Chains A and B, each alone.
Chain A
Amino acid sequence: MNSLRKTDLIMLVFGVALFIVLQGLITGRILNSFWQLNLIILCINIILSVSLNLINGYTGQFSLGHAGFMAIGAYVSVVLTTNFHWPFLIALLAGGAGAGFLGFLIGLPTLRLYGDYLAIATLGLGEIIRITIMNIEYVGGAAGFMNIPHNTTFTWAFFLMLATLFIIKNFVNSTHGRACIAIRENEIAAEAMGINTTKYKVMAFTIGAGFAGVAGGLFAHCFYIINPTSFTFMQSFNYLIMVVLGGLGSITGSIAGAFAVTFVSAGLASWPEFRMIIYALMLILLMFYRPQGLFGYIEITDFKIFSRFRGGRKS
C-alpha cells in the first residue's frame, strides 16, 4: 500500500480514537456542558482557521472577511432547517455552497488587488454582508434569528472537522495546492510556469469561503438564536490570530492556533476584559521569538515518528 495512504490511515485511526475518548468523557458526564460546548466551538474554530489558512497562508492572499462567509453559511442553513425543515447535513452543505458561491463572486473582482488593498476590500465586504443581513426582516434583522433547532452535536462538529482537514490537506498536497503556494511565493514566476494565477486565487478563496460557510452552519445550530453581532470583523481577526499564531502555511499550526485561542478564551470566560490583553501579549511574544508562527511551514506528519511508516522517502 502507498506510504502516503498509510499516513492518512494512521491519522484517521488517531482521530477516531480521540473522538471515542472525548465522547466517552461527554457521555460519562466528566466534562460539564460548558466544556462540551467549548469542544464543539474548538472543532468549528479549527474548520475556520484551516480554511482561512488556505487563503491567507497557502495562497498568500490576505483576506479579512472570513466572518462574513461564516454568516452566509449560518443564515442559509438556519433558514433551511428552521423554515423548510431540511435535513441538517444537507442544510449545512447548502450553507457552505452559498458561502462558496458568494466567495467566488466576490473573489473574481477583489483578487486583482494585492496585499493591504485586498485586506481592506475583504474587511469591507465582510461588514457589507453583516449589515445586509441585519436589514433583512425575513431572517430577523438586528434582533436575530430565533427558534433554531439545536442540531450541532460534538459528533457532527468533530467529523465535519475531520472531513475539512482531509480535504484541505489533500488539496494543498496536490498540483493544485502547489499552484496556490507558487502564487504566494512569486506570482510572476508562477504565471511564467504555466499556472493560471487568477483561477487558483479564486479557487482557494471559494474553497476557503465554502468551509467557512459550513462552520457558520455548525455554529448557528449550537444555540437557539443567532444575530449579526456574532459575525463582526472582530471575529475575522480572531480567526486570523489563530492562523498567524500557528503558522501561515501549516495545517497543524492552524489546529494548534485554534486550540490555543479557544481555550484561552474559554479559560478567561469570567474575565472577558483580559482576553484581548492576553491575545495581544501572545502575538507580541510570537513576533519576537517565532515570527513564522508556532509551526512555520511544518506539519505534524513531517516529524520523525511518521517517516518510519513512510518507506524510502527522505525528509
Chain B
Amino acid sequence: MTQLLKAEGVSKSFGGLKAVSDFDFYIDNGSLVGLIGPNGAGKTTAFNLITGVYQPTKGNIEFDSNSIVGLKPYQITQRGIARTFQNIRLFSELSVLDNVKIAYHSHVKYGLVEAVLRLGRYFGEEKRVEERSMELLRIFKLDDKAQEIAKNLPYGAQRRLEIARALAAQPKLLLLDEPAAGMNPQETQELMEMIRWIRKEFGLTILLIEHDMSLVMGICERIYVLEYGIIIANGTPGEIKKNPEVIRAYLGGEA
C-alpha cells in the first residue's frame, strides 16, 4: 500500500515549550487512522502542522510524495487535504448551501472577467457547483435546510455541515478534529456509520482526533497515541487497548 502522508522527525516548539517532538508518522492510502491522547498532548498541533497553520521547527512532511512544508494552508487544501475544526468554524451568517459552495472555490473553472461579465463558463459552472453542493447536502441530510442560516442549525447538524463543506473541497485526505464532540451516543453512532460510508463512497483516507473511545476503537484501523508531544504507541485498536504505556498515560501510575 502506498503512503499518502508521511511525517519524519517533525518537531514544533513554541518558545521553550515543545508541543510536538520527533513526530514520525505515516498514513496509508485509503486507511482510517485515529490520533488519540490526553488533553494537551499535541493532537491539534499535529493537525495544524499537517494543514500548514503552523510550520514545523524541524522535520519534513510529505503528501502524495511531495513535501508540503512551507506551503500556506490554502495551497495544502488545493493539493488535497481538507479539515474540520474542533471548535466549529462555519461561515455562520451564510446559508447552509453557501457554506458548501464556498468550498468548491478551487475547482471552479471561470476567471474574473467571465464572472464580472457573466460570459462563457459562468452559468454552466455555477449550476454545476449548486447541483453538487445540493448532492453533498442530501448525503448529510441537510438538503431541506439548504437556505437556513448556518448558525441556526442544531449542534449536530453544524458538525455534519462542517464535514460536508470539507468534502466539497474534494480532498484525498480528510482530517476530522473531534467530530463527535458534544454529540449524544445515538448521534455518535450515526456519525460512525456516516464516516465509514463517505470513506467508501469518496475513496477517502481519513485521519481523526477523538476522545470518544467507542468511536475510535469502532472504526479506526490503526491508532497513534500521543502524550506530551511524543508518540508512545501505534497499532491496531486491539493492540492499543492492551498497551501498558497507553494505559499508564490514560490512567496514570505504574501500570
- Give the interface of A toward B (CB within 8 A): 2, 4-5, 8, 167, 170-171, 174-179, 181-182, 185-186, 188-197, 203, 297, 314-315
Would you call B183 an interface residue if the criterion is a C-beta within 8 Å of the partner chain's C-beta atoms?
no
- What count of chain B residues pass the 8 Å CB interface test? 40
- Nearest residue (CB) in A for B88 is A189
- Give the interface of B toward A (CB within 8 A): 51, 53, 72-74, 77-78, 82-83, 85, 89-94, 98, 101-106, 108, 110, 112, 115-118, 122-123, 125-126, 129, 147, 165-166, 168-169
- Nearest residue (CB) in A for B130 is A313
A191 touches B72 (CB 8 A): yes
Interface-centre pick from A167, A181, A185 (highest chain B CB count, 10 A): A185
- Distance between Cα atoms of A190 and B105 in the complex (Å): 10
A314 touches B147 (CB 8 A): yes
Q: What residues of B have a CB within 8 angstroms of the CB of A193 in the complex?
A: 74, 77, 82, 102-103, 105, 165-166, 168-169
Q: What residues of A have a CB within 8 angstroms of the CB of B122 in the complex?
A: 174
- Closest chain-A Cβ to B175's Cβ sits at a distance in Å of 10
Query: Which listed residue (B72, B91, B168, B169) contacts A186, Cβ 8 A?
Result: B91
B118 touches A189 (CB 8 A): no
A191 touches B74 (CB 8 A): yes
- Distance between Cα atoms of A190 and B168 in the complex (Å): 13
Known contacts: A170-B116, A191-B73. The answer to whether A175 contacts B108 by CB under 8 A is: yes
- Distance between Cα atoms of A196 and B52 in the complex (Å): 13
Q: What residues of B have a CB within 8 angstroms of the CB of A191 in the complex?
A: 72-74, 77
A4 touches B123 (CB 8 A): yes
A174 touches B94 (CB 8 A): no
A175 touches B104 (CB 8 A): yes
Q: What residues of B have a CB within 8 angstroms of the CB of A8 in the complex?
A: 118
A-B contact pairs, 26 of them (CB 8 A): A4-B123, A170-B116, A171-B112, A171-B116, A174-B126, A175-B115, A181-B98, A181-B102, A182-B91, A185-B90, A185-B94, A186-B90, A188-B89, A189-B89, A189-B90, A191-B74, A192-B77, A192-B85, A193-B105, A194-B77, A194-B105, A195-B74, A196-B72, A196-B74, A297-B93, A315-B147
